[in-house]
Chains A and B, each alone.
Chain A
């Protein structure tokens, strides 16, 4: 009897071990754990809002819980380091524009190479938009450029943090139009908007989602956009290209995987994310959030990413801002 009891216990233990092993082998991606999308900007900001749009739209289609995590420390590098240091198993991704991932790394040495980051999908584009207070003496973009040419550094222009997308857009406009203004870095688009509304600066550069409600209310006027086509949130605002200046500068917002994430898992996420963001529900939510979806798959996103690195490297070299 004793031998039988021992045998029974041993059998059960072996059976359990085999069962658990088989179960873990049988777990398919992404069933193991929740997927996290890490944003290097603060909760409540534009990136965070887009990240929440992605996670809430995609989790049913992906078949796993998806969490939007804001990690704004260290100028965005905390989020980037976090994704780099986590297991490269396809459960942790980075969502960012080029400011934190590319621009910062061109100026300062960080622990990664651009080629280590693989774009999966592009979600949207941020379009640098130049705007003034409604009662500003600057009538339109051409008026601004004419006056700025006549008197360099006459106008003070607020933008977000140094070399963020709205700032880069501004630099490119100034290069194309051969003008010079006095730049006033701020903590972000909201502060730039506040400075314009309060009359502390003459002009500001931000993105349509930040200023759209103020434009609708007649508090500010948008002078121009640096996109190839007009934004549907500011349909009456011309592009600088239409005005004759060869400036097309938008910042993508993409989801990235870090180097060793398996190819099949990246492909899975690409397909599922595009499927999710093309649904009517996602489109409706994007409209509510004033987000203009501009979806691109892996291949196209990689081309855009590479082009951005080249363009920014060239621009920063011109400005003497490349790291030594």
Chain B
């Protein structure tokens, strides 16, 4: 232990970590991750998987810097598409759409993107620091989460989000139920039997995420805007040209001088950022929980404790900061179970684990001990990759903000084409295009009826895990439902859920 803190060791680590080769690879990784994350349909996982064969021929630290850079950049990159087009670029950016897209419509896309960036980097750094200094204690807490605890966490997340998002409690629960039903398509998580596939073998793996996400958000938005424009053009043709010119001036009303980020604005979102960072760090350390869950719970808690909760869903920057901090904070902490026990915290962490193995480092309890100089160099690289993420993205944002304010009549057709291309690119399947259009129709109908889309997506993402946890818990408890409460952690989550729901319901009754 003394060796770690000796000056010689630290100097060696720092010298190694700041080699030009490593800096270049980490920067390349961040740039790739941000770019790929901003394109709906292409995920950072694809980029990492494609690079794995080349990783074997590189020195471990630059290789891992490259892969971690992609992972980090990808988490923020998803927000760019969420804010610009209203389409989450990654699963972790789904809830960023709730406030990021209205922020862009309200004329401050750059402020929203910078808020997303600063909170993303803050969350990332906090969880990386915890990875370096508190990995083992947090891993031991994460191990306490078994099926009962996971199920209680999923129940908490679905109910809180259903109650807190725009549209009201009943509508939130309805869309969550739809999401759960969609999540049931495919293989039974316990028996492996096929269900709800209607004979389509491609549905055996379930409703694919990409067509659902892009359809529900992008296609529904394009369809909604098309319907609005059609109605508007009808009324213009009746009322005359004066209406047309006033509508055109609305399109041209973006004023970059009013879309400026300040330190004061950052401070106003700090509480939400810290909330998201803490929640994201914790959830990231739970194997399989995922960045989407972290983002949703962070959003829900930030709204609950905000001084202006009524602004959420209308372009609140806190509503952007919390989920972005939450999803980015899972990056560092998802490495914790991998490094301490050899259990990947996420699918991306599993890929990073494969990279470790290809380089001769076996993830697990002996990893730190057997590879100490490399691991500490790796930690330094992870930390400065976060700063690189900030620097590189900061220079890309003005460019993306300009794209965000391109006139809708040019943007929406482009979004439609990109949606189709991105969806087809993921599996080369024409059935995915049909699923995309069906999901788009569903999203359009829900939007028209003012049902929130967030609970649908959250329930779809975590529903299978919730079902699996519930059934595992019942198998362990020999079929007794009471066994679900034989866990203080689970009882704690249920109690918090009930308290929060009561408080929300009270506030709603007072308002009405």
Q: Please list the residues of chain A having a beta carbon within 8 angstroms of any beta carbon in chain B.
A: 42-45, 48-49, 52, 55-56, 67-68, 70, 72-75, 77-78, 81, 104, 107-108, 110-111, 153, 156, 161-163, 182-187, 190-191, 193-195, 197-201, 210, 212-214, 216-217, 219, 288-290
Contact = CB atoms under 8 A, between A and B. Distances in A.
Contact of A213 (B145, B203, B337, B363): B363
Contacts, number: 148
A115 B56 CA distance: 36
Given A182-B478, A217-B364, A44 B343 contact: no
A67 B147 CA distance: 37
Contacts of B475: 156, 182-184
Contacts of B501: none
Contacts of A183: 475
A194 B365 contact: no
Given A74-B202, A191-B287, A214-B341, A161 B192 contact: yes
Given A49-B357, A162-B191, A213 B365 contact: yes
Contacts of A191: 287-288, 343
User: B interface, how many residues as a size bin?
Assistant: 35 or more
Contact of B347 (A42, A216, A217): A42
A198 B347 contact: no
B144 interface: yes
A261 B386 CA distance: 49
Contacts of A45: 350, 354
A79 to B, nearest CB: 11
A75 B350 contact: no
Contacts of A70: 49
A193 B204 contact: no
Nearest to A53: B358
Nearest to B188: A162
Contacts of A111: 201
Interface of B: 45, 48-49, 52-53, 56, 143-148, 186-187, 189-194, 201-205, 208, 287-288, 337, 341-344, 347, 350-354, 357-358, 360, 362-367, 427, 468, 472, 475-476, 478
B205 A75 contact: yes
A156 B365 contact: no
A183 B358 CA distance: 33
B343 A213 contact: no
A163 B192 contact: yes
23 contacts: A43-B350, A44-B353, A44-B354, A52-B53, A73-B208, A74-B202, A74-B203, A107-B192, A108-B194, A110-B201, A162-B191, A184-B147, A185-B189, A185-B472, A190-B344, A191-B288, A193-B343, A195-B147, A197-B341, A214-B364, A288-B357, A290-B357, A290-B362
A74 B350 contact: no
Contacts of B148: 200
A75 B192 CA distance: 8
A187 B427 CA distance: 23
A42 B205 CA distance: 13
B351 A44 contact: yes
Given A52-B52, A184-B475, A198-B146, A213 B364 contact: yes
A24 B343 CA distance: 49
